[in-house]
Structure 1
Amino acid sequence: MAHPHDHSGHSHDETDHDHEAHQHAPHAHDHAGHSHDHAGHDHTPKVSSANERAVLIGLTLTGTFMVIEVIGGLLSGSLALLADAGHMLTDTIALFLSWLGFRIGKRVADSKRSFGYARVEVLAGLINALTLFGIVVWILYEAFQRFMAPGEVLAGPMFAVAVAGLLINLLVLRILGGADKDHVNIKGASLHVMGDLLGSVGAIAAAIIIWLTGWTPIDPILSVFVSVLILRGAWALLMRTFNILMEGAPDGVDPAAIAADLKTNVPGLAKVDHLHVWSLSSGRTMATLDIALTGDIAPASVSNAVRQRLAQTHDINHATIEIDWTGHGSQCAAAKPA
């Protein structure tokens, strides 16, 4: 998360931070001539125990029923059930990775990782998305094989297992719904379970049609339909985690609008340069910026006002603020003066 611009000659005022509490390694710019005050600031992510517990319960239920669904799919000869069982396998892995991300994310910051381990949960979300793509490929391949060589499907066992799977998925989805739904780990786990739920609905519909008509091609057809729905959710999750890892601005955050808002509402602020806004993990938006001052207002007062405005209006609770005393700004290729 390095921002390789040189702020030599600036005064760095952060009155609510305690630099002794952590090392500011991720900001790789020159702090010569800067002053730091990081009192009371902690980069350790606030990992909710409710989120962790929800994922663990979902993991246990999903893993247990996956075994049942595999047996049911093999006995009935249903691709829809086997596809859903394969999806539940990836769900079990994904939920385990999500749970592991929460566990590791609780570890406190150290000298090498001054922001703690919050990014582990984002990596888990990325793996979740990639496993969804993998299961879609598997479903499509199996569907093609079934079209080429249709086999017998036992509608009765297929229907019973699919209904049980639907109930399990609804229960897990309800449990995850009580957690933080904006969290990438919870979102990733919920998408997996939603895909399973759709798979169960498809399997139920296929079982009913086969039961009434004997037309077995409906089994792979509905499997393909479910895979398309899964693919849509996987793409959205992949883009979200990719944006966090690329340190892109979070959804709904406009750095230019933030800079204009600061200039309008913070007395003594003449200019905002080099404003970078990104997410460390879900719900943890951060920013770095240079500011130039006007008049005789105390620099600490302006810096504090900027930080309060960022926190209260834009939900940015960690800001690194550089004060430009020269009026010319520093060099930064990505900067757009405001």
Structure 2
Amino acid sequence: MAPHDHAHGSPFAPSDSPGRTPDAQLPDTRGKIAVAFAFTATILLAQAIGAALTGSLALLTDTVHMVIDASGLLMALVAATLARRPPSSKRTWGYRRAEVLAALAQAAVLAGVGVYVVVEAVGRLRKPPDMPSKTLIVFGVVGLLGNAASMLALASARRSNLNMRAAFLEVANDALGSLSVIVAAVVIATTGWQRADAVAGLFIAALILPRAVKLIGEAGAILMETTPRGLDLDEVRRHMLSLDHVLGVHDLHASTVATGLPVISAHVVVGDDCFQDGHAVAILEDLRTCVAEHFDVAIRHSTFQLETRSASQRESGIHACGYADAASRSAARTPDGS
């Protein structure tokens, strides 16, 4: 794993100015989102007209989904713009979490739409209205083409952050929704089975709900400052305890500020002599290297507080995440002594 920068405390320094260049590693996805929003808004108008003309639940559901897509893409565009604003003394991480909030809002609204569609579809299965199949096919094709264009605009950046992932998933789901409208229209035209429209609406709801729940869970985990996925904090503690001069580790925390930005902090107990013979600087460097190179998650920002055992014992309250000391070092050492 390549070396990483390990800033301590705030990610901005007093020298930072309001015009500071945003994080160079933060991809600029605004152009792609803007293109996708333009396509989605255009198709939204067409499908709204189609839903009004036909009275189709599937097309209405897809139209509502498109409304959510359009508003979601607009929120994603705003979030991508805010995320590039520089940090300040008031907002030390800038607006990096704007993308998480935008993804959470989109997912919550999608979940609400999915529940509504299920309720409405059940009623229409009992008493299906007549659907103009040819008109449905026309608007379904228009929607599918527009969503395909939006997907192409977002595809190359869909893995860059949670915000882009949410936007891409919404457009992809809506494309499948448009396809289901077309299939339902064909079934109605060839067989006369009017319930196909309600079944297509249920299919769209089935696409919406699981992805909405998953996004809510992922965004919620970040906001709750859960340990980043793929990082074993017990293993991190063992590696830290295996370092020379480290007597104990407590208040060990790891979380994710935003997509691609995990952080870690800990109180590390060392011997009193380490502050006298210059070992403290070497210990800090060893700790930074440890969390940067030994684990699958790339930790770019780490903060460690070195303290003596007496200072650690004077701290009030119970240490968060427990306390581990030198008694565990023999168990912490790996066979190669690392």
TM over 0.5: yes
Q: What is the alpha-carbon distance in structure 1 between the residues aligned to residue 231 and residue 193 of structure 2?
A: 51
Task: Confirm or deny that 1:311 pairs with 2:292.
Answer: yes
* Cα contact 1:15–1:300 (8 A) shared by 2: no
Per-residue deviation at 1:166? 1.9
Q: Secondary structure at the match of 1:199?
A: helix
Aligned-partner Cα distance in 1 for 2:7–2:308: 21
1:113 aligned residue = 91
Task: Verify: 1:53 aligned to 2:53, yes or no.
Answer: no
Q: Which residue of structure 1 aligns with residue 163 of structure 2?
A: 185
> Is the 2:9–2:303 contact (alpha carbons within 8 Å) kept by the matching residues of 1?
no
CA RMSD of aligned residues (A): 2.7
Aligned residues: 307
Does 2:265 correspond to 1:282? no
* Alignment counterpart, residue 337 of structure 1, candidates 308, 320, 323: 323
Deviation at 1:247, TM superposition (A): 0.8
Q: What are the equivalent positions in structure 2 for 1:92-107 lying under 5 Å apart?
A: 92-107=70-85
Contact kept, 8 Å, 1:45 with 1:116, in 2: the verdict is no
Amino acid corresponding to residue 326 of structure 1 in structure 2: R
Distance 1:242 1:180, change over 3 A: same
2:207 is aligned with 1:229: yes
Unaligned runs of 5+ in 2: 325-338
Answer yes or no: is the 8 Å Cα contact 2:10–2:92 preserved in 1: no
8 Å CA contact 2:248, 2:270 repeated in 1 = yes
Q: SS of the residue aligned with 2:29? A: helix
Query: For the Cα contact (< 8 Å) 1:44–1:115, is it kept in 2?
Result: no
Partner in structure 1 of residue 279 of structure 2: 298
Select between 248-257 and 310-319 the one with higher mean Cα deviation: 310-319
The percentage of counterpart residues that share the same residue type is 28
**SS at 1:292's partner residue?**
strand
Residues 127 and 15 of structure 1, relative CA distance in 2, 3 Å threshold? closer
Distance 1:59 1:233 in 2: 20
Structure 1 segment 101-180 matched on structure 2, within 5 A:
101-180=79-158
State the TM-score, normalized to the length of structure 2. 0.82
Deviations 1:13-67 (A, max 9, x none): x9955979447xxxxxxxxxxxxxx9xxx99655745422221111111111011
Q: Which runs of 5+ in 1 are unaligned?
A: 1-13, 24-37
Q: Distance in 1 between matches of 2:82 and 2:10?
A: 24
Partners of 1:19 and 1:274 lie apart in 2 by 18
Query: Counterpart of 2:103 in 1: which secondary structure?
Result: helix
Give the Cα separation in 2 of the matches to 1:60 and 1:286. Answer: 36
Between the aligned partners of 1:101 and 1:19, the Cα distance in structure 2 is 21
Aligned partners of 1:262, 1:17: CA distance in 2, in Å?
Answer: 17
1:67 aligns with 2:50: no
Structure-to-structure mapping, 1:228-267, within 5 angstroms:
228-264=206-242, 266-267=243-244
